[in-house]
Structure 1
């Protein structure tokens, strides 16, 4: 367990970060930061709509008893309570492994905060600037908690440090003071999920539910703080720094608030698979781009693919996929799908696609090896080196980060909109862009948010 000094440090830093979060005003946010958040919201909504359309999510929503309420259930054609919406929409947001992320936080800040914020905003019917300030506060707090936390080996980042962002965002919607926001964040640290990474590798969909739980728990923590039933005692030092993690850097938690904006350092995902697989996919696609003849008949032309990667991705080497999720956490799957399709979209992990003998044949030729020199480049770089052996030659490609990372071929507004069109179709993509724009200036957001249910 944490020392008393560690708890005091966590409580103090949480208070400082919460004071900044509670005082955040949308009209005072630098325009470059505001633009980035707008783009992140468009991407997050599009990814959630696509996830809501998946058979897995439709089955879950069909079995979930929902009461009438003010908050939209994305893509479900109906509304529910804020707590139900936060949970179900949070789960939808990660169904297809397309949610944006942050490499220094080692996880996905926006998807942990957005659905609690949107649900709380629909319930409170706040104005647009309040919603956007809350979404930004949620992102920044979640990312900073992710930076501060070093999870234990074998722990998945879904549902633990991100709950702090959900609580901060929901507290901002509720208009809580800095002290009450700190209590909400501290309480959220006590509601963290202990999720083993093995569940993702095994294809157990409980992994998706952790983000839904994180959003719901963050909203619950804010409600507890609003009721005066929360305290700031440095809980994160024990949960994130001791039980689920090996350390919690309280000293850096609130450093540079208002000057260093985490949202500007995010990444957008262009492949529907774990971000640790992306560098290998990008490298293989680069090889195919130079040698298009490989795409014509990859099963015949490609003899072997040797992937060298960092330690975080070393376990993603399975060639058997009982579910979509298991496939999305497999480098052999992602590389094979990229060779066959020229991309790794959601349809690549549909049940029929996973039974494709060509896919399995190619995946069986993909080897994964951890290289210490690539591990040493973490977290600034999540590199991969790929050697593609064909019937005529060998081709080597190395990439420092996935395409879409803020530090490597970042996706601009046009690219994010194109991603949305590919996922949900042009009419829905336009509707999402329009909805986000209308939300920002809305005097009351509930009627606008209702449109999420119809997408």
Structure 2
């Protein structure tokens, strides 16, 4: 049997053309990620990276930094990747259980070169990296993610290496070796959620993807059976019930068409989103207020309850991983915004009072067995004894319930405003033309 990495690389190489739908969705993902990078550029998690490596950045480099200036490619990927994920507003990709674009876009920007990469070539490399993430994730998820591994920094690293390799002109064998080397760099425990290490995972993954691809093109190599062999990725990282790659499919349509990405509506952990959306659905249907409610109960996936460990968050980072805070804030303010995670927002009396009336449970492992995902459930008990129930299998922003063009544009403008960037300079419209640009640099905003 052919080792899986060469087979993934071979199948990726066969996809030489992409549909207009795939290109448009890739463009939208890149735009959304750039917005999140700009919004996150001043976050303390990002500033810590800049401060740590400031001496090395001051020596220069050719790669654009969202924080200003330029740096060598590895550092640019590290800074920009951390910024992309700093506010937890960047997209989710279910096949990889990863924040795919927060790794891919910074990694690809770091090797795009000074004016040498067209917008279409950049998007093709993005789509290659995304499909590679889906391929790696197929063999280990959801068992890998449920075991406690952060797919962004594990599966994301390995898959993004394939995207970077494509942008650098690698062949099939070099791509497979880039992914193999990235396997040796893949790490990141979900126990770090709610700390600055979590967004750093995306930055480290982007940096590792760049370095793995460049090492492979320079002649370095790893075992091509490292995913499936004893003491390999599946063996060590697969969790309790990994399925492996025996029946791995690669459909005619790209995974971005069949599965899509989830463009976040709320700047917090995706594990909260379906419950938030279900609660907002009930609020709008029944004109609910906090004063009407005796209790809110939500039932979520097993991995979600493990992610959301902060019942009484002490800072904005923890609040992003608090179902109690996110649900209460969404109900009171009819949604969540970036300002809801500032320190001054966390202890508002009305939010705190409602948080005390929220309970969260999860499905059992037995209930989840055989299902890729189950709906998140919300039950609201009113003072008059009525119980309102609603379920959400898909969050707002998913392929099944996508944001429209105006919602995407408004989110981008909000991100620019939060990051201190002008919102009237035509950047969004320039980015919409990304597939036709002769250089990716034409789309990069001045900082």
Indicate which of 243, 247, 250 corresponds to 2:245.
250
Q: Distance in 2 between matches of 1:61 and 1:430?
A: 27
| Number of residue pairs the alignment of both structures matches | 431
Matched, 1:145 2:136: yes
User: What residue in structure 1 maps to residue 322 of structure 2?
Assistant: 330
User: What residue in structure 2 maps to residue 403 of structure 1?
Assistant: 396
Matched, 1:199 2:192: yes
Any conservation in 1 of the 2:103–2:157 contact (CA below 8 Å)?
Answer: yes
Indicate which of 144, 151, 157 corresponds to 1:157.
151
Any conservation in 1 of the 2:165–2:175 contact (CA below 8 Å)?
Answer: yes
Indicate which of 64, 70, 79 corresponds to 2:53.
64
Three-state SS of the structure 2 residue aligned to 1:93 is: helix
Any conservation in 2 of the 1:79–1:453 contact (CA below 8 Å)?
Answer: no
Any conservation in 2 of the 1:188–1:217 contact (CA below 8 Å)?
Answer: yes
* TM superposition shift of 1:53: 3.6
Indicate which of 153, 169, 179 corresponds to 2:173.
179
**CA offsets 1:295-338 (integer angstroms, 9 cap, x no match):** xxx2x433211112222222325322133222111111110111
Q: Distance in 2 between matches of 1:377 and 1:402?
A: 21
Give the gaps of 5 or more residues in structure 1: 1-7
- The structure-2 alpha-carbon separation of the partners of 1:46 and 1:375, relative to structure 1 and needing over 3 Å to count, comes to farther
Any conservation in 1 of the 2:4–2:227 contact (CA below 8 Å)?
Answer: no
- The structure-2 alpha-carbon separation of the partners of 1:54 and 1:385, relative to structure 1 and needing over 3 Å to count, comes to same
* TM superposition shift of 1:180: 0.8
**CA offsets 1:353-402 (integer angstroms, 9 cap, x no match):** 11323322221211011235995387554412212223334322222221
List aligned pairs for 1:293-308, cutoff 5 A: 293-294=288-289, 298=290, 300-308=291-299
Q: Which is worse superposed, 302-311 or 173-182?
A: 302-311
Q: Distance in 2 between matches of 1:159 and 1:51?
A: 18
User: What residue in structure 1 maps to residue 423 of structure 2?
Assistant: 428
Matched, 1:51 2:40: yes
Q: Which is worse superposed, 338-347 or 51-60?
A: 51-60
Matched, 1:80 2:75: no
Q: Which is worse superposed, 97-106 or 431-440?
A: 431-440
- The structure-2 alpha-carbon separation of the partners of 1:325 and 1:417, relative to structure 1 and needing over 3 Å to count, comes to same
Q: TM-score, normalised by structure 1?
A: 0.87
Q: Distance in 2 between matches of 1:411 and 1:377?
A: 31
* TM superposition shift of 1:240: 2.8
Q: Distance in 2 between matches of 1:286 and 1:373?
A: 28
* TM superposition shift of 1:139: 1.2
User: What residue in structure 1 maps to residue 356 of structure 2?
Assistant: 364
- The structure-2 alpha-carbon separation of the partners of 1:257 and 1:178, relative to structure 1 and needing over 3 Å to count, comes to farther
RMSD, aligned CA: 2.6
Three-state SS of the structure 2 residue aligned to 1:251 is: coil
Give the gaps of 5 or more residues in structure 2: none
Q: Distance in 2 between matches of 1:176 and 1:125?
A: 16
User: What residue in structure 1 maps to residue 375 of structure 2?
Assistant: 383
User: What residue in structure 2 maps to residue 40 of structure 1?
Assistant: 29
Q: TM-score, normalised by structure 2?
A: 0.88
